[in-house]
Amino acid sequence: MKTVRLYDTTLRDGTQAEGITFSSADKLLIARKLDEFGIHYIEGGWPGSNPKDIEFFRQVKALRLRRSRVAAFGSTRRAGTRVARDQNVIRLLEAGTEVVTVFGKSWMLHVRDVLRTTPEENVRMIRDTVAYLKGKGKELIYDAEHFFDGFEDDPDYAMRTLLAAEEAGADTIVLCDTNGGTLPLRLGEIVDEVRRRVRAPIGIHSHNDAGMGVANAVIAVRHGAVHVQGTINGYGERCGNANLIGIIPNLVLKMGIPCVDRPRLARLTELSRYVDEIANMAPDTRAPYVGASAFAHKGGVHADAVCKNPRGYEHVPPEAVGNARRVLVSELSGRASVFMKARDLRLSLRREDPALPAVLAVVKRLESEGYEFEAAEGSFKLLVEKALERHSPFFDLEGFRVSVEKRRDGTLISEATIKVKVGGRFEHTAAEGDGPVNALDNALRKALTPFYPSIEEVQLADYKVRVLNARAGTAAKVRVLVESADEEARWGTVGVSENIIEASWQALVDSVEYKLMKDRVRTRARRGKGR
C-alpha cells in the first residue's frame, strides 16, 4: 500500500502566525505529543535564523522520541560564499539532527529581487548545499520555495532548480505553494509535470490563502506526492499552513492511506486541543473532524434520525477521530434530543422516565424565553436536577445592589453589595470590579468562599452577551453565557433577562451551584469506592 510521510512544521512555520509564540518548554511538550501520535517528521526550528533553536535541538534528544525524526530547517548557502563556511549551513549541522530540510528559490522574481543574484548562482547554491549536507550523512529534504508561482512564471527555470537538488542527492523534493494562492486543479497538473521529470519522492507544502490548504495537500497526494507538510490546527503566517488535523483523516479514512494507525487516529481531537491549549488559542469549534460542532446536530426530528442511522448525517464516525456526536437542545427540541443530551451528560434519565415530559416542558418554556442550552451544559444539568426535585440550593440570596458611578472627571466606580444566607448564617459583604458584572461576581465569590472554599478554584474562562430582541433598543432582552473552569472540567451556564445584571447573575449563580454539585457528586463517588 502506498504510504505518505507526515511532516509537521508547527514549531517552525507555525510560529510565523500572528499571536503564536512557543517557549522552549512548549516546543518540547508539543514534540512529545507529535511523537506519541506518530507524525513522521518534526521540524523543530531554524537554527540559522534563531540561534536559541539550537537549545531546543539539544533538549529534544533527551526525549528519546520513538516514532518521529527531528528536522532542522535552513536556507541554501548565501550567494558567493563557500558552503562549508556559510553560517546558516554551519548552524544546521550544529543542530545535530538526522534530518535537515533546506529551502531554495525556484521563482526568478525572488532570485532577482530578494537574493539579488544570478539564475546560475542560485542553481549552484542549491546543488552545493544539498550535496554538502548529504556528504555529512544527513537525510535531506529539499523545500522548493514558491515553486508553483515560479513554475507559472518560468517553468523551465523552476524545473532546473528541482533537478539540481535531485542530482545533488536530495531524498525528498517538496513543492511549496508559499504564497498559498494556487488553485487545486492547476496544482495537480503541475505536480504531474514535475513527476514526469523528477524521480525523487515528491512532497507538498501548501498554505491556506485561497482556502485550499487541505485540498491542495490531498490533491497533490492523489497526483503522487508521498510527503505532506503542514501544521497542527493550520497555524502559520497569514491564513495559515495546510492543517494536518484536516489532512490526516482525509488520507486515512477517505483515501485508505495508512499514514497513522486507527488507534492513534482516534486521538486526533485530543492532539488538536492539546496544541491549542499550549498555544493559548481558542479551539475552532467548526474545525473539520475535531471541532466541538463538527458532529453537532440541531433539531428534534433530525436528532432522532441521526440516532437511527448516523451514516445518513455524518461523513465519518466521530469516534474514528476521537470526537463525539452532540445533540443540541435547541428551539426544535423534542423528547429524543432532551433524552440524548441527558445521556451525553451521563444524567440518570431513561427514555421512558416519567419525569422526562416535565424536563421537556421546562426546557421548552425557557427556550421560548430566550435561554439556550447548547453551550450551557451546566445550567442544563441543574435544570434537570431541579425538574426532578433532586436539587437543593447551596445558598439563599437576601439581596444585592450593584452601582456604577461616572464623575465629571471621567472616573468610573463599580461596586456591588450582597447578602446571602447559608444554613442559618448570614454573610453581608461588598466588592468593587472593572464593571458592574465583575463587581457582582467578586462580591458573590467573597460572600460564599467562607462556606465553600472550593469556589476559589473556579476561573471564569469566557463571558458572552447576546441581545435577543435587538429592536427593543436598550430595553432588549439579553442572554449571558458564562464558561467556567476548574482544574478538571469546563462548564457553561446561561441567564436571560431584560436586565444584563440579572442575566449575568443567573449565569454566575448556576456556575457556582454547578461547581458545588459536581464536587459533592465526586466526593460521594470517592466515599463509595472507599467502602
Mark residues 49-68: x for contact with a second copy by CB under 8 A, - for none: --------------------
Which candidate, 453, 463, 439, 470, places its Cα nearest to that of 511?
Answer: 463
DSSP string over 52-88? THHHHHHHHHHT--SSPEEEEEEEPPPTTS-GGG-HH
Taking CB under 8 A as the binding criterion, the range among 38-46, 166-174, 240-248, 385-393 that sits at the site for a second copy is 240-248
Under rule CB under 8 A, residue 206 binds a second copy = no
Query: Minimum distance between the CB of residue 15 and a second copy, rounded to whole angstroms?
Result: 9
Which candidate, 229, 247, 236, 322, places its Cα nearest to that of 279?
Answer: 236
Nearer to a second copy, 190 or 215 (CB): 215
Under rule CB under 8 A, residue 307 binds a second copy = no
**What CA–CA distance (Å, rounded) separates 225 from 119?**
27
Under rule CB under 8 A, residue 505 binds a second copy = yes
- For residues 86-125, which are near a second copy according to CB under 8 A? 107, 109-110, 113-114
Under rule CB under 8 A, residue 320 binds a second copy = no
**What CA–CA distance (Å, rounded) separates 371 from 494?**
7
Report the SS3 class of residue 347.
coil
**What CA–CA distance (Å, rounded) separates 508 from 453?**
16
Residues whose CB falls within 8 Å of the CB of residue 491, separated by 6 or more in sequence, listed in order: 377, 378, 483, 484, 485, 511, 514, 515, 518
Taking CB under 8 A as the binding criterion, the range among 12-20, 167-175, 256-264, 268-276 that sits at the site for a second copy is 12-20
Residues contacting a second copy: total by CB under 8 A: 122
Contact 105, 114 (CB under 8 A): yes
Taking CB under 8 A as the binding criterion, the range among 57-65, 89-97, 306-314, 519-527 that sits at the site for a second copy is 306-314
Taking CB under 8 A as the binding criterion, the range among 30-38, 84-92, 195-203, 210-218 that sits at the site for a second copy is 210-218
Under rule CB under 8 A, residue 525 binds a second copy = no
Query: Minimum distance between the CB of residue 171 and a second copy, rounded to whole angstroms?
Result: 27
Residue tagged 492513534 (cell numbers): 264
Nearer to a second copy, 258 or 288 (CB): 288
- For residues 337-356, which are near a second copy according to CB under 8 A? none
Nearer to a second copy, 215 or 360 (CB): 215
Residue of the chain from 59, 81, 117, 179 that contacts a second copy (CB under 8 A):
179
Instruction: Count the alpha carbons within 13 Å of 226 in the hemisphere toward its beta carbon.
Output: 12
Mark residues 14-53: x for contact with a second copy by CB under 8 A, - for none: --xxxx---x-xx---------------------------
Nearer to a second copy, 23 or 523 (CB): 23
Under rule CB under 8 A, residue 291 binds a second copy = yes
Which candidate, 238, 211, 126, 136, places its Cα nearest to that of 174?
Answer: 126
Nearer to a second copy, 348 or 459 (CB): 459
Nearer to a second copy, 5 or 27 (CB): 27
- For residues 394-413, which are near a second copy according to CB under 8 A? 397-408, 412
Residue of the chain from 6, 141, 271, 508 that contacts a second copy (CB under 8 A):
508
**What CA–CA distance (Å, rounded) separates 475 from 253?**
51
Mark residues 455-494: x for contact with a second copy by CB under 8 A, - for none: ----xxxxxxxxxxxxxxxxxx-x---xx-----------
Four-point Cα dihedral 325, 329, 335, 340, nearest 10? 30
Which candidate, 323, 326, 313, places its Cα nearest to that of 375?
Answer: 326
- Cα–Cα–Cα angle for 28, 32, 33, rounded to 5 degrees: 115
Under rule CB under 8 A, residue 181 binds a second copy = yes
Residues whose CB falls within 8 Å of the CB of residue 55, separated by 6 or more in sequence, listed in order: 24
Taking CB under 8 A as the binding criterion, the range among 84-92, 134-142, 179-187, 424-432 that sits at the site for a second copy is 179-187
Residue of the chain from 47, 300, 433, 495 that contacts a second copy (CB under 8 A):
433
Residues whose CB falls within 8 Å of the CB of residue 207, separated by 6 or more in sequence, listed in order: 177, 178, 179, 180, 213, 236, 237, 238, 239, 240, 241, 242
**What CA–CA distance (Å, rounded) separates 374 from 337?**
11
Query: Minimum distance between the CB of residue 3 and a second copy, rounded to whole angstroms?
Result: 19
**What CA–CA distance (Å, rounded) separates 382 from 513?**
8
